[in-house]
Chains A and B, each alone.
Chain A
Amino acid sequence: MDIGERRKERLDRGIKVRTDGIYALMSLRELSYLTVPRLVFILGILILPLVMPSMYWQRVISIVCIYALLALSFDFLAHFAGLVSLGGAFFIGTGGYIAAILNTSFGLPTIVTIPISTLLGAAICTLLLLPCLPLRGVYFAIVTLMYPLVFARIIEALNIFGGTDGIMGVVSFPNRWVEQYFMLTMVLLFLFGMRRLVNLDIGLVFRAVKDNDQAVRASGMSITHYKAIAVFIASAMGCLGGACLVHIYMWSGISQFALDFSIIPIAATVIGGAGTLVGPILGCFILVPISELLRAFGTLRIVFYSLILVAFIVIRSEGIMVYGQRKYHQFERWVKV
């Protein structure tokens, strides 16, 4: 049989009844069909700190979590609210500096600085991004890219917030277990929270703004209002990551406005599967450790890193998660035409 005489047929597995949203669970087997992948993911993530060989790799886990929060925030904004954001660095920097200032200048403990910098940082980011929200297209991306550069230069030029030296002496987490499990819990909470959110009625409004903003206006709703809410949620995730980063490194500096925080989450989203929310997190858990492993290659690290990225994009451009979901929910067979 050559390719012209047969085609691949894809069939949904029998569990799905009537529509995508409604499942009819008839047996333990079907129940486990739905819960096992989620359990494997959650347990896998919670076990990670225990199986890491060294403290160095445990630290990598925490950093992965920060990138995971950023990737989640990017995926939510880009694929559920229609705003392509390059603001990872902006969110991290804002959250980080707020946490550092609150801790060193006001002596507030970690348990207070993290929630405050999450909310206050998100409010500041949203306020600063508000002027470009009524616009469509690339404007949002440009402005989010611009802010971290502006802030880094302002801090450098005016020598405020410690200038180029940064703010040192920020208090760390009580110990590395608290640090890692706090980070992992936040990632899981936000992941399942966001999955819930995008399927709520307000989540549908976000998706509608992405799909067709004119129709949302015709429905009597201000698109700017809902975009602002989406940006607040996304920047809260980024600022949380920034605050944690500062407490992990015990230091806050202008390198927190580095473009890495904007670009790596996007790469992770592409690799993991855009619009799946869990995909970008998996992408981070693949990309960031690879980048650490490649340190052995010294300056050639970026070359190999880029090659791996290109390979991923060429071979699995749809993303790991999209591919995985398809394989899991459907079976394929060759049929004669």
Chain B
Amino acid sequence: MSDHSILQIQGVTKAFGGILALNGVSFDVHEGEIVGIIGPNGSGKTTLINCITGFIKMTSGKVFFRGRNISGKPAHKIADMGVTRTFQIMRPYYSLPSYKNLIIPLFSPRARRTGGWRGGGKLGDRDTVGIDILEEIGFERDSFVPYKIASTLPTGYLKRLELARCLALKPEIIICDEIFSGLSMSEIASMVPLIERLQMDGITLLMIEHRLRELFRVANRVIVLNFGEKVIEGIPEQIMADEQVREVYFGSEEVEEVMSHA
């Protein structure tokens, strides 16, 4: 792994009124890495993502992407640079069929610029690319699933659709907000190899997760947040053994279980 950092988060602070949701969070993400962010509910994980991707304005702090300051830029500009995100509560276009959902990111300036496909804007071109991406992400091509209206899809497919939206943008980083939550064990089991394959394709991943067991399997490094502050960062084994983390997660059964394997 190269130590060239692709994303640098420096002292990100976000105050909602008097409440400090994030307090000086700093860390680096290296090229090609999978970094996990964990922490109990309300520890500021999603707020951190929203700050990085420009969906909310941070109170202070800086975010650098490949050395360029992206803090304060509008969300679509940040996405245009290749820093893409998924939403914890899925945000598909419910009235459109799944493959048509991908027309929107494929129509974006970034996809038109970077896409390796010959999109002359002819009718149907983007449909084909969309279905290809869906197949890559686990929609069965010859079934009716890619053609179904998004509002009729089960959670598992919607989570994949979130990832597909990022992939359509040819991303450099995908920031996943709880991509495993709400999925059945078998759905998670099929999602994990997908994440690993994205890493092999050279995409950097920043993953917020509550499903620690699966996260620890794929992550190269894990950062623990609590009350808006970074508690510790390290390789999964280190995190599992850490006393502070046990305290943060005190009482959470799953953690106890995962920790006991350490």
Contacts and interface: CB of A to CB of B under 8 A. Distances in A.
Interface stretch (B38-46, B91-99, B237-245): B91-99
Contacts of A201: 103, 106-107, 121, 126
Contacts of B76: 216-217, 219-223
B103 A204 contact: yes
A299 interface: no
Interface stretch (B80-88, B178-186, B204-212, B249-257): B80-88
Interface in A183-227: 200-202, 204-205, 207-208, 211-212, 214-223
A333 interface: no
Given A214-B55, A219-B165, A208 B104 contact: yes
A211 B79 contact: no
Contact of B55 (A19, A217, A219, A221): A217
A219 B96 CA distance: 16
A218 B96 contact: no
Given A204-B100, A204-B103, A220-B110, A211 B95 contact: yes
Contact of B108 (A200, A211, A212, A221): A221
Contacts of B168: 219
B202 interface: no
Given A221-B109, A222-B76, A212 B169 contact: no
A219 B91 contact: no
Contacts of A202: 107
A88 to B, nearest CB: 25
Contacts of A223: 76
B107 A218 contact: no
Q: Which of B77, B93, B108 has the most CB of A within 10 A?
A: B93
Contacts of B144: 19
Nearest to B78: A220
Contacts of A20: 97
Contacts of B108: 219-221
Contacts of B106: 201
B84 A218 contact: yes
B105 interface: yes
What DSSP secondary structure best describes chain A's contact surface?
Answer: helix
Nearest to B54: A217
B97 A219 contact: no
B91 A215 contact: yes
B115 interface: no
Nearest to B84: A218
Contacts of B126: 201
Nearest to A22: B147
Nearest to B74: A222
B97 A208 contact: no
A133 to B, nearest CB: 14
A214 B169 contact: no
Interface string B181-197: 00000000000000000
Nearest to A221: B108
A219 B169 contact: yes
Contacts of B80: 220
Given A217-B75, A220-B79, A220-B169, A208 B53 contact: no
Nearest to B105: A219
Contacts of A222: 74, 76
Contacts of A205: 103-104, 107
A200 B144 CA distance: 22
A140 to B, nearest CB: 20
Given A18-B147, A219-B104, A212 B79 contact: no
Contacts of B84: 218, 220
Interface string B142-155: 00100100000000
A211 B94 contact: yes
A218 B75 contact: yes
A218 B103 contact: no
Contacts of A19: 97, 144, 147
B165 A207 contact: no
B165 A215 contact: yes
Interface string B30-64: 00000000000000000000000101000000000
B121 A208 contact: no
B170 to A, nearest CB: 10
B109 A220 contact: yes
16 contacts: A18-B147, A19-B144, A19-B147, A21-B97, A201-B121, A204-B107, A207-B96, A208-B93, A214-B91, A215-B92, A220-B105, A220-B109, A220-B169, A221-B76, A221-B107, A222-B76
Interface of B: 53, 55, 74-77, 79-80, 84-85, 87, 91-97, 100-101, 103-111, 121, 123, 126, 144, 147, 165, 168-169
Interface of A: 18-21, 200-202, 204-205, 207-208, 211-212, 214-223
Given A212-B92, A215-B92, 9 more contacts: A21-B97, A201-B107, A204-B100, A208-B101, A215-B87, A218-B84, A220-B76, A222-B74, A223-B76
